[in-house]
Structure 1
Amino acid sequence: MDSVIDTLIEEENFHHYAQGLFHTTDQTKVGIELLLRSNLGNPDFIFGEAKRVNRLYELETKSIIKLLTTYTSKKSKIVDHLFINLYPSTILHPNFPDFIRKVSNQFPQTANRITFEVIESEKVDNIPLLKENIQLMKSLNYWIAIDDVGKGWSSLNIIIEIEPHYIKLDHYFSINLSKSALKQKMIESLLDYAQFSNAKVVLEGVEQENDLSIAKELGIPLCQGYFLEKPQPLSL
């Protein structure tokens, strides 16, 4: 018996929402993160079910093609910077190098306009291959982010190994940030590292004005969260 995820993937019964990323200082939008959504359930269920039936790679690659087709279909020029999530297992898939070259050829107008966010919820057993495929992505003019830092299994290790352009802090850090000296101190350390490695820090999950104010005081350059903008259906 087919899983419900099989039908979702075969018929592409999913769509995408967009949520902005903003400069912390003046709250101008600098990019949008594209998020998969479906009537089947919440994203965690969808991706979890895709993993369970060993079809996560198909789901993610079809999602990327669909969202870029949707986004570029009526745009002669890409003005937004797009942030797109990817699981490490997708990047490690044997077919991924051919896939990412195909994307680069099919959507040349997005050159230097896409950041792939490596999701930190999977353990990576083959770091050399991950580095190799991420280097390929960089050579094709894609930017790299580490997502949900502070939540994953080995964020600091991965940050050092793949040298991302963006370090996205999990929403854990934004919750009551204004009241936590320990969170502030940890963020200061990450900001020092980011400056040294020429990366930018993004604070996710900002929901309170006072937490945004502290983020600004700390010098976090970019923020994202419901206080700034809720996810909205991807518009053309």
Structure 2
Amino acid sequence: MQKIQRSNELEHELSSILHARRIHTLYQPLVNLSSGKVMGYEALTRGPSYSALHSPLKLFSAAEQFKKLDALERLAQETAIVNAKFDSDEQLLFINFSSQLINSSNLVSLDHLELLQRCGFSPSNIVFEITERSSIEDFEQAKKFLDKYRKQGYRIAIDDAGIGYSSLHAIAQIHPDYIKIDRSLIQNVHQDVMKKYLLEAFVTFTQRMNIGLVAEGIEQEEELALLTSMGVQFAQGYLLARPHQTPPVIPSHIVQFIHQHQKHGQHKMYE
């Protein structure tokens, strides 16, 4: 009985959040490891701070459970675009997009052209980042769906690469513009030869295929130093900047650190 009551309360809370549009966006920068400049931001959705659905995991899990994922994702996309205030017209906005919606027969509309123009953006500023809440079931359908938006100028990223067969299969089938390497392969990479060689393979592959490579979850200077010297293009993580409602600035000492290891990073990577 208590379980049913709790479920009803969560559904009511979710409906209230969606109706009142009570979500907010945090922005975490992605840094170009050749220049030290911010190339874009990932938009991270949060529920109200006082709510049981504050965390993104609980919020999106509830939306999936109560068949409201399409409504939440559209609200999250719109909120991210409206509140984005960037320094350059060339900076990108990475917006999470669940692969489950590609599998759905009721696909959410991603036609934000009017909203983008009103906010000073264009489709070329937007990267739809496919998250692994569920695996893509029909890659032919997925490619047709995503190609529609590519033709309008949007770009596609595969998130969490390297943690399972499904993400690698998605890369081969979808041909993304960006690949984001999961934190599990980045953590303590400077101490793990296997991870180093896996990342080296990703660097070679993405360079040959002209795909942007993003290392996620960088928290240690040793990780950043190695990734910079290896030729990974872009980086994201708490060491660089934590997510914030106002797009954060990369500390000057981090930018200097990147330049130092870019210039002098030709040491032996596998010592």
Q: Give the alignment's TM-score, normalised by structure 1.
A: 0.90
Cα distance in 1, alignment partners of residues 20 and 104 from structure 2 = 22
1:35 match: secondary structure: strand
2:41 match: secondary structure: strand
Preserved contact between residue 29 and residue 236 of structure 2 (Cα < 8 Å): yes
Cα distance in 2, alignment partners of residues 230 and 182 from structure 1 = 28
The answer for the alignment partner of 2:226 in structure 1 is 214
- Aligned-residue CA RMSD (Å): 2.2
The answer for the alignment partner of 2:99 in structure 1 is 88
Q: Give the alignment's TM-score, normalised by structure 2.
A: 0.79
Preserved contact between residue 34 and residue 233 of structure 2 (Cα < 8 Å): yes
User: Which of 184, 200, 206 is equivalent to 2:212?
Assistant: 200
Q: Tell me which amino acid in the other structure corresponds to 2:195.
A: K
Q: Tell me which amino acid in the other structure corresponds to 1:87.
A: S
- CA drift of 1:90 comes to 2.2
2:72 counterpart of 1:59: yes
Cα distance in 2, alignment partners of residues 216 and 206 from structure 1 = 11
Which runs of 5 or more residues in structure 1 are unaligned? none
The answer for the alignment partner of 2:115 in structure 1 is 106
Post-superposition Cα deviations, 1:177-207, rounded to whole Å, max 9, x if no partner, equal 1001100101111122212221011000000
2:23 counterpart of 1:14: yes
- CA drift of 1:116 comes to 0.7
Preserved contact between residue 92 and residue 133 of structure 1 (Cα < 8 Å): no
Cα distance in 1, alignment partners of residues 162 and 37 from structure 2 = 26
Post-superposition Cα deviations, 1:45-103, rounded to whole Å, max 9, x if no partner, equal 1111111111111100111122222337xx8x845311111001223444547x223x1
Cα distance in 2, alignment partners of residues 161 and 51 from structure 1 = 25
- CA drift of 1:153 comes to 5.4
Cα distance in 1, alignment partners of residues 26 and 66 from structure 2 = 25
Q: Tell me which amino acid in the other structure corresponds to 1:100.
A: L
**Higher-Rg member (1/2):** 2
Describe the shift of the 1:216–1:181 C-alpha distance in structure 2 as closer, same or farther (beyond 3 A). Answer: same
1:202 match: secondary structure: strand
Preserved contact between residue 24 and residue 212 of structure 1 (Cα < 8 Å): no
Greater shift, 147-156 or 194-203, is seen at: 147-156
Aligned length: 232
The answer for the alignment partner of 2:154 in structure 1 is 142
2:42 counterpart of 1:24: no
Preserved contact between residue 120 and residue 151 of structure 1 (Cα < 8 Å): no
Cα distance in 2, alignment partners of residues 188 and 130 from structure 1 = 29
1:10 match: secondary structure: helix
2:165 counterpart of 1:169: no
The answer for the alignment partner of 2:268 in structure 1 is none
- CA drift of 1:27 comes to 2.1
Preserved contact between residue 25 and residue 221 of structure 1 (Cα < 8 Å): yes
Cα distance in 1, alignment partners of residues 114 and 151 from structure 2 = 13
The answer for the alignment partner of 1:129 in structure 2 is 141
Q: Report runs of 4+ in structure 1 exceeding 6 Å deviation.
A: none
The answer for the alignment partner of 1:47 in structure 2 is 60
Q: Tell me which amino acid in the other structure corresponds to 1:71.
A: A
Cα distance in 1, alignment partners of residues 243 and 80 from structure 2 = 15
Preserved contact between residue 104 and residue 140 of structure 1 (Cα < 8 Å): no
Describe the shift of the 1:54–1:95 C-alpha distance in structure 2 as closer, same or farther (beyond 3 A). Answer: closer
Q: Tell me which amino acid in the other structure corresponds to 1:37.
A: R
Greater shift, 21-30 or 165-174, is seen at: 21-30
